[in-house]
Chains A and B, each alone.
Chain A
Amino acid sequence: MRTALTSLLFSFASGCTQPPVVELILDPDADATGQDGQRGPFGVARAAYRTQARVSDSVRFEATWPATDSGDLDLSAAPYPCVLSVQGGLVSAERYRWLAEHMASRGYVVLAPRHALKLAILEPDNASYALDEALERVGMAGDPLAGALDPDGPVAITGHSLGGVVAAMGWVADPRVDGVAILASYAAGSTDVESMAGSPVLLLTGAEDQVDPEEFFPEWERFEQPRWGGVIDGMNHYDWTDDATPSELERDGASTRPLDDTRTDAWRVLDSWLDATLLDDPDAADRLEAGGFPGVEERW
């Protein structure tokens, strides 16, 4: 009994020092271009981390990175830009892994913090704590994230639904964040988005979202330039998440196109916006400027 208790206490107390378990998700694919809404050439691996927050609290987050076929960070193009991903209300962060895996395959490190009760609004600064910890880890030899990020490198934040509301808050509050991508959402009235003129904004929603896109547009008008807004044809609210439940689908609009098609259409825009915002890719900026993305009705 005493041995078991000692072991239990030790495992709790030493949890912070144990190396994270790395999971290889995708093998590298040298033929993948990462263009036209398709995956990129990098392999993808992830690990779970935990960091101290708000003095006595702690935040769990999942890091997903461009990897070799062994799951190690692919150092060939490191350091990578960083994307912070904020979960929607009452939706587990795991249901957004498809977003993180796609972005990591194209050369982004994605940090996805968890939030109490799956309500990001309760802990709106968790993404910043995750970024703090990741930036600490990039300097630690032997850590899976060692060398993954530049401490002064570009950072974007994205969030779906309630996560979009919180992503906008993080974009305004954290000066390290260079742009925000809001999916099927808008900013809270108390978030001072007007002060962020010059910082890129992407606003996307689905034509079949449970909230009529027409209701989003007046809220989107609050964002200053440069901004890009669009509506994905046939996409509903929970097409942005994996494994939608029957009750979620019951109150959502009905998707009118296959999920793979709507997500590919969304990726063409999101990939271009990330490449233009975080990599200063002139071709991506030209694509955004030219518009004409298939399956997307542009708002601006």
Chain B
Amino acid sequence: MVMRALALTLLGVALCLAPRTAVADPVTLRHGAPERGLVFQAGWPDVSAAWWMGPQLGLAVEWKLPASAVAASVGTRRRLPLGSGPWALDAFLAGGLLVPTVNPGLAISATPAVQLGRRGERFELDLGLAMPMELQLLTERRLRAPLLLEAGVGGDLGPVALGLRGGFGAVLTTPGTLGFLVQWSLWVWVPAISPR
């Protein structure tokens, strides 16, 4: 109970401190979910929550502050162990719907990602690439295609897991110019409670 309260407090603090800009990126579908359970992620520039229903299927909602967009995603992952040690290669794929809210519209999103990571029982770290792409369909046709280099660390803290991730990359928006993106966030994983 204490750890859940701590996790919710962290989420609340991050919500309050989150900046006034955002991108669409279901970060919780590629970070902070060692197994079935809930993941909350907050930082710069987005906030999201995911429910990993099983080891390979997750649902997520994202809130792009301050009300820049809301999105829902479904994601899956596959793990390829590298030998018998803790190292593994993970592949992620998420897709969903996104609603820009400042100037209302509709977009679809797709996020392929790969991570090379150490997946220990109490400590993990990873390095990866992600492409959280968005294609706006209504009101105008616009594609946003970032390529992010990401790094993350995490570990168990009692019954929950905590982690930190950062990312940097280039963003191509059509029609438009090339920009850049910096991301960081804290994530908290809370195990699912099995019904008795």
Residues in A lying within 8 Å of B, measured CB to CB: 12-13, 15-16, 50-52, 54-60, 116-117, 121-125, 128, 169, 173
Contacts and interface: CB of A to CB of B under 8 A. Distances in A.
B66 A15 contact: yes
A13 B136 contact: no
Interface in B1-53: 19-24, 45
Interface residues of B, number: 35
A54 B176 contact: yes
B94 to A, nearest CB: 14
A123 B107 contact: no
Given A56-B24, A56-B64, A57-B22, A50 B176 contact: no
B180 interface: yes
Interface stretch (B77-85, B98-106, B121-129): B98-106
Report the 5 A-B pairs with minimum CB-CB distance, sorted nearest first.
A56-B69, A56-B24, A52-B103, A58-B68, A12-B67
Contact of B21 (A13, A16, A116, A128): A116
Contacts of A122: 179-182
Nearest to B25: A56
29 contacts: A12-B67, A13-B67, A13-B101, A16-B101, A16-B102, A16-B103, A50-B102, A52-B103, A52-B105, A54-B23, A54-B171, A54-B179, A55-B24, A56-B68, A56-B69, A56-B144, A57-B22, A57-B68, A58-B22, A58-B68, A59-B21, A60-B20, A116-B19, A116-B45, A117-B182, A124-B177, A124-B178, A125-B177, A128-B176
A52 B102 contact: yes
A32 B69 CA distance: 45
A55 B144 contact: yes
Given A55-B107, A122-B182, 11 more contacts: A54-B23, A54-B171, A55-B98, A56-B69, A56-B100, A57-B22, A57-B144, A58-B21, A59-B21, A122-B180, A125-B177
Contacts of B101: 13, 16
A173 B177 contact: yes
B76 interface: no
B62 to A, nearest CB: 9
B142 A57 contact: no
Contacts of A51: 102-103
Contacts of A124: 177-179
Interface in B113-140: 134-136
A258 B20 CA distance: 37
Nearest to A174: B177
A125 B135 CA distance: 18
A74 to B, nearest CB: 28
A169 B179 CA distance: 11
A13 B103 CA distance: 11
B74 interface: no
A16 B179 contact: no
B71 A55 contact: no
Contacts of B135: 55
Contacts of A54: 23, 142, 144, 171, 173, 176, 179
A12 B103 CA distance: 13
Contacts of A52: 68, 100, 102-103, 105
Nearest to B45: A116
Nearest to B109: A56
Interface centre among B19, B66, B68 (most CB of A within 10 A): B68
A125 B144 contact: no
B99 to A, nearest CB: 9
Contacts of A16: 67, 101-103
Q: Which of A59, A121, A123, A173 has the most CB of B within 10 A?
A: A123
Given A16-B103, A122-B179, A57 B98 contact: no
B179 A12 contact: no
A125 B69 CA distance: 19
Given A125-B176, A169-B177, A173-B177, A56 B23 contact: yes
Nearest to A121: B180
B23 A57 contact: yes
Contacts of A173: 176-177
A15 B19 CA distance: 15
Interface string B156-193: 00000000000000010100111111100000000000
